[in-house]
Structure formats: structure tokens, C-alpha cells
Amino acid sequence: MDFIDLKTQQKRLRSLLEERIGAVLNHGQYILGPEVQELENTLSRYVGTRHAVGCASGTEALLMLLMALDVGPGDVMVTTPFTFIATAEVIAMLGAIPVFVDVDPETFNLDPEKLRLALEALKRGDPSLHPFPNTARQASVRGVIAVDLFGVPADYSELESIAEEEGVFLLEDAAQSFGATLHGIPACRFGHAAATSFFPAKPLGGYGDGGMCFTDDETLAQKLISIRVHGQGSHRYEHVRLGINGRLDTLQAAILLAKWTVFKEECRLRQNVAARYMMLLEQARPDLVVQKVPEGVTSVWAQFSLLAPSMQERDAIRERLQRAGIPTAVYYPIPLHLQPAFASLGYKAGDFPVSEDLAKRIFSLPMHPYLKPEVQEHIIEVVKS
């Protein structure tokens, strides 16, 4: 059994994929060919932003946004410790300081109340109010990166008003949430700009790396387009700023255009799979708590994640499933504030108790649009036994 089955989808789309790939082989524009713009136009129309800029990965999308916003040394960027490393890695890569704020215990997303507290603590320079790295004392808060964990959009009505009150920008790490909605508004349209990923296992995944930035801000979009190609100016060998090689491959764009044809249907199928898991779990194991999908949210269920009552219980369930040939995963076993890579920030165990508790009890079951009801029943049977 696959944790995420990509084969069934490929079987369905094989001829369309070959047609799209064949078209690229025929025209030969492997770098920023017409498929890149076609994908940007298609996805920006779906999301509802004025601009979309394809890039090499979700990580590069986040990096390019921070570069375009001139984030660097002396800046603080606030984010969650309960996310993939990329979210905070790009902050530190630019010499800025990641300041972590704990998550909501039910949605696993950035907790707006704790964000308010952290901003107050930074203003007063008082780490007893909320922990922050020593180096953040002399730095200024530039912005917040919220993460839509496992496909559930963060609490943007609260986060957007905090960002506005504080005069900082808000970015949406929508790497896991492309296809989700909040009050009917698609993920990737929140905050000042958003970044998504087309890593193969994401809801809209290619056959390699890829990503995209979304924004309504024309100036920001033009900067992103320049940064994507080494800070290019009015022609290829004029460089008006430092940039990166952050382009989305034409071949990946072509593959994503083929996959786009079934994406909305796959989002609906994901709803059915998640609803069936929840129904089965409610009967078999009401003590296991599924990630909360708040009122007004449609999750895209990038992961189906749940909490066991204890770490021992989680590990026992996972072992049972493994013996039955059913793969599971733990996202994320180590919160970012306890990662060796961030040791220099000076955080310690106990700083973010919700994230630390989630890391011990969370696990994810196989999740993809083509999961059959009888397979789900079997999985929950094993979870129960």
C-alpha cells in the first residue's frame, strides 16, 4: 500500500501527460516556455490573485517572497515551530531571525492570541511574557509567515487584522493547502502574498520540484519575476538586484497542466476519503482526535493527521499498521525550536508546549483521492484491534 498513491492518477492521465510532455519536446523551450505562463494564468485565475509567479520549489517561492520584501539581518519574521523546516529556514538563510509562536492545539495552526502576546513581548523586550531569541531584542518585526498545516488554512481573519494593526506584512505558506478554501476564498489568496509547492506529494504535485508565488501587488510581482532570474533588469545581462535561479521548469508546468484537468474532482474525492475516515474512527476509536477543520474551512487534506492519547499509544498503533503493511508518517516529530539547525536561537524544551505535545502524539494515515472505501475500512480495523 502507498502512503500517497500517485500511480492511479498517472494511469488515468497517462495519455494527456504524454501529449503535454510531447508538446514541450517539440517546441523545445525548456526554460520559461509557454506552459509556465499558461499555468500561471490558469492558477492565478483559480486563486483569484492578479499575479502568479512560477518558481523552482515551494522553498524558493518563500525565499523569493522574503527577498522581494527585503527581509535580512536585523529583521524578525514570526512563524510557527510546528511546520516543515523550509518555512523558517528561508528566514534564517537571509540572516533574519525566526521568532516562533505556538499553535492552536486543535487546528495545529498559528495561534493568533499567542501571536499578539509575542509581538507585545518583543515590543517590551520582555522574554518572560513570551520566549524569543536574545538577538531579536535589537531587531524589528517585519512580518509573519502563517502556515496552512496539512491543508487547513490558518485563521486569516484574525491574522490579517493583527498584521494590519502592527503594520507588518503577512505571508501565507500554502505549500500544503492549494485547493483548500476559507469562507469560499481559495488558499493562496490570504495575506500580502502566498507561496505554494508542487512537490509530488502535495495536493497539486508535479513529477519533480516546483512552486508558485501569488499576490495582488504589482510591484512585488515584478520583483519576484526579476529575482527568479538572477535579479534581471531590462535585459538578460542587466542585473538590478541580487536574485537566484528560481525558475519553474517548462516540463513541470506541462505536467501540472495535465494534472490540473482532474484537480477539482480530486479535491472532492479527498473530502469523501476524509469524511469516511472520520465516520469509521468515530465508531472504532473515538479517543483518537482528528485535526479540527474550523467552521467555514474546506481542507484539502494534504495529510490526514490525528492525535493519539499518548506517545506510547501512537507508536503502538503505528507498529500494528506497519506489521499489516500499512504505511503511516509523523509530521512533525521535532518542532523547529528544538531542531539542531536552530540551536543558536537559544530556544529550549518547554518554550512551545502545544507543538511539543503534538510532536509526541501526532501521526498521519494514508491519504490520497483514490483511496478505496474497503481499504479505509481495513486500515481502521487494524487501528482498532
Ligand X SMILES: *Cc1c(COP(=O)(O)O)cnc(C)c1O
Cα 334 to Cα 81, 221, 330, 343, distances in angstroms? 9, 34, 10, 13
- Between 199 and 370, name the residue whose CB sits nearer to ligand X: 199
* Span 186-245, contacts to ligand X by CB under 6 A: 197, 199, 209, 211
CB of residue 176 to ligand X, shortest distance in Å = 5
Classify the phi-psi angles of 151: left when phi > 0, otherwise alpha if psi is within -120 to 50, otherwise beta. left
* Span 157-176, contacts to ligand X by CB under 6 A: 173, 175-176
- Between 199 and 281, name the residue whose CB sits nearer to ligand X: 199
How far apart, in Å, do the first and last CA atoms of the chain sit?
Answer: 19
Residues binding ligand X: number (CB under 6 A): 15
Residue 299, interface with ligand X (CB under 6 A)? no
Residue with the shortest CB distance to ligand X: 58
Q: Taking Cα atoms as reference points, which of 116, 77, 82, 120 lies closest to residue 99? A: 77
- Between 57 and 299, name the residue whose CB sits nearer to ligand X: 57
In contact, 67 and 230? CB cutoff 8 Å? no
- Between 173 and 266, name the residue whose CB sits nearer to ligand X: 173
In contact, 68 and 227? CB cutoff 8 Å? yes
Residue 87, interface with ligand X (CB under 6 A)? yes
CB of residue 132 to ligand X, shortest distance in Å = 22
Walk across the sheet containing 181-182 and list its strands: 185-186, 181-182, 297-298
CB of residue 57 to ligand X, shortest distance in Å = 4
How far apart CA 45 and CA 219 sit, in angstroms, is 19
Residue 303, interface with ligand X (CB under 6 A)? no
Member of 69, 78, 86, 141 binding ligand X (CB under 6 A): 86
* Span 51-80, contacts to ligand X by CB under 6 A: 57-59
Helix (H, G, I), strand (E, B) or coil at 172: strand
How far apart CA 22 and CA 250 sit, in angstroms, is 12
Other CB atoms within 10 A of residue 62 CB: 29
* Span 103-162, contacts to ligand X by CB under 6 A: 147
**Interface positions with ligand X (CB under 6 A):** 57-59, 83-84, 86-87, 147, 173, 175-176, 197, 199, 209, 211
